[in-house]
Chains A and B, each alone.
Chain A
Amino acid sequence: MKFRQISVRVALAAVALTGVLSTSVAIAQDKVQFFPSLTGRTGPVAPNATQFANGYADYMKLVNARGGINGVMTLVEECETAYATDRGVECYERLKGRHGGATVFQPLSTGITFALTEKIPADKIPMITSGYGRSDSADGDIFKWNFPLIGHYWVAGDTVLQHIANKEGGWDKMKGKKIAVGYHDSPFGKELLPIMEERAKKHGFQLQLLPIPAPGVEQKAIWLQVRQQRPDYVVLQTWGVMTPTAIREAIAVGYPREKMFGTWWSGAEPDLKDVGAAAKGYSAVMMQHGAEPQSDVVKQILSMVYDKNQGVGPRNEVGQVLYMRGVVGAMLAVEGARTAQVKFAKGKPVTSEQARWGYENLNLTQADLDALGFKGVMRPVATTCSDHMGSAWARVHTWDGAKFVWASDWLQADKGLINPMVKASAEKYAAEKKMSRRTKEDCQP
């Protein structure tokens, strides 16, 4: 009886709460540019995705401390996805209309990217997926609303293979070599494979594919295969708790870390700091930025955000690899909006449609980047209607037991190889969807 009374009261309270809730969220804020943030602060990728969310939020605070985007303040609201696609879609629906409309989404999950790719053209909201999502979305003539700025999986895959070839002394030395690819058994992991297969076919090396089921905390069987087959190199396309597990298992079977290479998502401090000195020699390819604690933008964040006790995350993580990825993501989001302001209305918030134009006509020169505090962090990025990627530069860094040090010069992905692959894949997508390429009129500079 008592239980029943309580249950009635709880139900009534819940109903009352919903009523109040729906009226209280509409806080009127004019003249803000709203940047939604889909976070992964819990779940299997939390150690890594948390840093990204912190960097994203902190950089937006820095933009406001610098005076906003021509006076327009930025606003971030977070929504937790825990790397789950259905929750990500719910977050997108929840945030897209808030605070005058979302400017751009950065879902930080390939699964969510695939789902949102189907939704954003109807809602007219652009999506930046730096280094993840659909590689073929670099073809802006078909993917009008997707922006894999500064690179995608195929760029990372190609540059990591270039680095390995350089170590061997040229592509011709790669013939007959065996490269194992340990990948997250999901679209995230599989997206890497086409470029590996293309290169393997071209240069005559052998691929050993090792799918790792998510979340990846059990990998014994996979590494036993590595021990048996002794591949010349192992490339890891892993994310979250999968990466440190892979490195620990590699140590357990005695596979040398010097022969292991991570892609863009598999080589950051949270992956290696617990393994520490034992992981020395592990390398990963970094598109544009790496760990940049010495950069101007980090110094500014520390002095203008953290010294005022407004920082989101722990101070000692500022400038680490994934923190910087959040900073770079936020910078690209803001600069696109700034570009759009110049064309449409300076000093006023831009709509998501106008922001899309900004991302498509982004032209960040080295001088612009240096002025923003990204000197030494990034190289220029310039997009066009048909190229939504903007740059294909990468470097490789190596873990020295306590921190990352650069191990290569700037590498550029072979566009002659990647562009036809992007185009073919995008054409296939368009054919399935019965879409056609954008016309010239749809592409106004």
Chain B
Amino acid sequence: MFYRENGQFKIAYRADQQIFPIAQDRWAVLALIAFAFLAVPFLADGYLFRAILIPFVILSLAAIGVNILVGYCGQISLGSGAFMAVGAYMAYNVFVRIDGVPLILALLAGGFFAMLVGIVFGVPSLRVKGLYLAVATLAAQFFCDWAFSRINWFTNNSSSGSVAVSNLSFLGWQIDTPVEKYLFCLTFTAVFALLAKNLVRGAIGREWMAIRDMDVAAAVIGIRPMYAKLSAFAVSSFIIGVAGALWAFVHLGSWEPAAFSIDRSFQLLFMVIIGGMGSIMGSFFGAAFIVVLPIFLNQALPWVGSLVGATVSTAMISHAEYMIFGGLIVWFLIAEPHGLAKLWSIGKQKMRLWPFPH
């Protein structure tokens, strides 16, 4: 009834080619962004910001980056954690070694160096595909783990190998309360999400998708595989690098290479698979699933236990959390192999007919 494009006539190509051609979509997205920026700061408390919303926003950004590479260009990567680490450590080095460098510039520099590393480790993708490529990108993970824990220059000769930043500010705005940190990260995520959405609709995004769907056919119709694949690696690792820098600077404040271990790479890949490959929206769903659900289970289980009058031990909660979480992943993948984003689009289709299905 409400979600219909009947009567929305387009009289120019521009209007037909905008990001959200349907007015309801446009308004819904604008309302969502306005809600996230204006309403959430008043609704959420410190715990929600620091433990859930900030990690969710940053990892959503990282998931968008991974989605460009894995979901849009079809190049499976297990090196995402490494690209986050490059972003974090290089942003740190720019931040502490160059006096008076603005925070934003340091974060973007982190993204820039992650992009360079991403291109280098993307070179094997020109020759190997699929699972073999996944193994090749694993090299990035091991190399970066090694480099950041062994080469003292990266950690500014810190004896423990752990580095820390503080006093974050942007144009005289001190970013220290949870709300400010949230808004700072949200700005990055919103801007990059819109840029990414635009990019994947354009010529370059279509090239990536052509490569993903059949690289030989794509080459035949004149798409340069090298350019398409390496540009996907570059854009993807730039975004992941910025997300890594935000994760380190804003969320953790102090970190060690273990914060960007192979587990992080898997986590990001799962976000993309569960959220929906080839969908910007799906990246947010996937991040929410992976970040929020375990914490929710961890807090809900003792409460469920107290309902039936049983005290659940801390270890038992943790084990149950893993079991239920694993079960849910399997169940969602069986219920909807194309990820949560597909459920979302099915829902939208239903809304078009609601309340009068055939």
B28 within 8 A of A: no
Question: Are A433 and B166 within 8 A (Cβ)?
Answer: yes
Contact check: which of A18, A194, A432 meets B159 at CB < 8 Å? Answer: A194
CB <8 Å contact, A80 and B334: no
Contacts A7-B343, A82-B318 given: A115-B335 contact, CB under 8 Å? Answer: no
Interface check A214, CB cutoff 8 A: yes
Segment from A85-93, A315-323, A326-334, A379-387 that makes contact with B: A85-93
Residues of B272-317 whose CB lies within 8 A of A: 295-296, 298-300, 303-304, 313-315, 317
Residues of chain B from 215 to 251 with CB closer than 8 A to chain A in the complex: 251
Instruction: Indicate which residue in B149, B256, B318 contacts A80 across the interface (CB closer than 8 Å).
Output: B318
- Chain A, residues 136-152, CB within 8 Å of chain B (1/0): the string is 00000000000000000
**Bound CA–CA A39/B166 (angstroms):** 27
- A42 touching B51, Cβ below 8 Å: no
- Identify which of B55, B166, B346 contacts A86 (C-beta below 8 A): B55
Give 1 or 0 for each of A108-142: 1 = CB within 8 Å of chain B CB: 00110011011100100000000000100000000
* A94-B47, A191-B159 given; A432·B164 CB < 8 A: yes
What residues of chain B lie closer than 8 Å to A97, measured between beta carbons? Answer: 46-47
Mark out the residues of chain A between 34 and 57 whose CB falls within 8 Å of any chain B CB in the assembled complex. 39, 41-42, 46, 50, 53
A203 within 8 Å of B (CB atoms): no
Whether the pair A17, B254 counts as a contact (CB closer than 8 A) is: no
B128 vs chain A, min Cβ distance (A):
26
A266 CB, min distance to chain B CBs, angstroms: 18
Pair A21/B315 contact, Cβ less than 8 Å: no
Q: Which among A17, A50, A191 is the interface contact of B160 at CB below 8 angstroms?
A: A191
* Interface class of chain A by DSSP: helix
Write out the residue numbers on chain A whose beta carbons fall within 8 Å of the beta carbon of B299.
Answer: 21, 94
Known: A114-B254, A194-B159. A432 touches B47 (CB 8 A): no
A50, A93, A114, A193: the one contacting B51 at CB < 8 Å is A93
From A25, A41, A190, A434, contact of B318 by CB (8 A): A41
Cα distance, A353 to B80, chains bound together (Å): 41
Let me know if B318 and A115 touch, CB within 8 A.
Answer: no
Chain A CB within 8 A of B252 CB: yes
Task: Please tell me if B253 contacts chain A, counting CB pairs below 8 Å.
Answer: yes
Interface residue A365 (Cβ < 8 Å from any Cβ of B): no
B155 CB to closest chain A CB (Å) equals 10
A18/B252 in contact, CB under 8 A: no
Given contacts A187-B162, A194-B159, A433-B166, contact A111 B258 (CB under 8 A): yes
Count A-side interface residues using an 8 Å CB cutoff.
Answer: 50
Q: Is A400 an interface residue, CB under 8 A from the partner?
A: no
CB–CB A190/B258 < 8 A = no
Do residues B47 and A93 form an inter-chain contact, with CB atoms below 8 A?
A: yes
- Contact partners of B298 in chain A: CB under 8 A: 80
Does any Cβ of A come within 8 Å of B112's Cβ? no
Q: How far apart are A226's CB and chain B's nearest CB, in angstroms? A: 20
B296 touches A18 (CB 8 A): yes
Question: B55 contacts which chain A residues (CB < 8 A)?
Answer: 86
- Size of the B side of the interface (Cβ < 8 Å), in residues, is 43
Contact at A187–B296, with CB atoms within 8 Å? Answer: no
Q: From residue B8, how far is it (CB to closest CB) to chain A in Å?
A: 29
Taking the complex as formed, is A162 at the interface, i.e. its CB lies under 8 A from any CB of chain B? no
Q: What residues of B have a CB within 8 angstroms of the CB of A6 in the complex? A: 335
In the complex the two chains form, is A41's CB within 8 Å of B314's CB?
yes
Q: 1/0 per position for A3-33, CB-CB distance to B under 8 A?
A: 1101100000010011011001100000000
Do A118 and B166 contact each other (CB < 8 Å), given the known contacts A50-B315, A80-B318, A93-B51? yes
Residues of A within 8 Å of B258, CB to CB, are 85, 111, 186, 214
Chain B residues within 8 Å of A258, by CB: none
In the bound complex, residues from chain B placing their C-beta under 8 Å from that of A89 are: 50-51, 251-252
Bound: A53/B314 CA distance, A: 10
Q: Which of A411-431 contact B (CB under 8 A)?
A: 425
Q: Does A307 count as interface, using CB distance less than 8 angstroms? A: no
User: Within 8 Å CB of A7, what residues of B?
Assistant: 332, 335, 343
For the complex, give the distance between the alpha carbons of A190 and B160 in Å: 5
**Closest Cβ–Cβ distance, residue A144 to chain B (whole Å):** 14
Q: Which of B149, B300, B314, B335 contacts A17 (CB 8 A)?
A: B300
Which residues from B are CB-within-8-Å of A17?
300, 303-304
Q: Does B41 contact A (CB under 8 A)?
A: no
| Residue A79 lies at the interface, judged by CB distance under 8 Å to chain B | yes
Closest to A435 in B: B166
Question: Within 8 Å of chain A (Cβ to Cβ): is B319?
Answer: yes
B254→A117 contact, CB < 8 A: yes
A188 to chain B, nearest CB (A): 8
Nearest-Cβ distance from residue A152 to partner chain B, whole angstroms:
12
- Min CB distance A73 to B, Å, is 18
B104 within 8 A of A: no
Complex interface: chain B residues within 8 A of A433 (CB): 164, 166-167
User: In this assembly, does A232 line the interface, its C-beta being within 8 Å of a C-beta of chain B?
Assistant: no
Q: Which of B50, B156, B314 has the most CB of A within 10 A?
A: B314
Q: Are B166 and A42 closer than 8 Å at their CB atoms? A: no
How far, in whole Å, are A14 and B300 apart by their CA atoms in the complex?
9
B115-162: which have CB < 8 Å to A? 149, 156, 159-162
A185 at the interface (CB under 8 A from B): yes
- Asked if A21 contacts B252 (CB within 8 A), the reply is no
Contacts of B164 in A (CB 8 A): 114, 117-118, 432-433
Contact A21 B303 (CB under 8 A): yes
B295 touches A114 (CB 8 A): no
B259 CB-CB contact with A under 8 Å? yes
Task: Tell me if A90 and B51 are in contact (CB < 8 A).
Answer: yes
Q: Tell which of A3, A39, A42 has the most Cβ of chain B within 10 Å.
A: A42
In contact, A85 and B259 (Cβ under 8 angstroms): yes
CB interface residues, B 319-337, toward A, < 8 Å: 319, 332, 334-336
Interface membership of A78, Cβ < 8 A: yes
B299 to chain A, nearest CB (A): 7
User: Are the CB atoms of A115 and B255 closer together than 8 Å?
Assistant: yes
CA–CA, A80 to B304, complex, Å? 17
B96 part of interface (Cβ distance < 8 Å): yes
- Residues of chain A lying within 8 A (CB to CB) of residue B180: none
Contact A90 B295 (CB under 8 A): yes
Bound complex: CA of A118 vs CA of B164, how far in Å? 8
Docked Cα-Cα span, A14 to B301, in Å, equals 12
CB of A50, distance to nearest CB on chain B (Å): 7
A residues with a Cβ closer than 8 A to B are 3-4, 6-7, 14, 17-18, 20-21, 24-25, 39, 41-42, 46, 50, 53, 78-80, 82, 85-86, 89-90, 93-94, 97, 110-111, 114-115, 117-119, 122, 134, 185-187, 190-191, 193-194, 211, 214, 425, 432-434
Which 4 pairs across A and B sit closest by C-beta, in order of nearness? A118-B253, A41-B315, A187-B160, A3-B335
| Additional A-B contact list (4), CB under 8 Å, known A7-B335, A80-B315 | A4-B343, A114-B160, A115-B252, A433-B164
* 19 sample A-B contacts, Cβ–Cβ < 8 Å, listed by A number: A3-B334, A7-B332, A17-B300, A21-B303, A24-B303, A80-B317, A80-B318, A85-B255, A85-B258, A86-B55, A90-B295, A114-B162, A187-B160, A187-B161, A187-B256, A194-B159, A214-B258, A432-B164, A433-B166
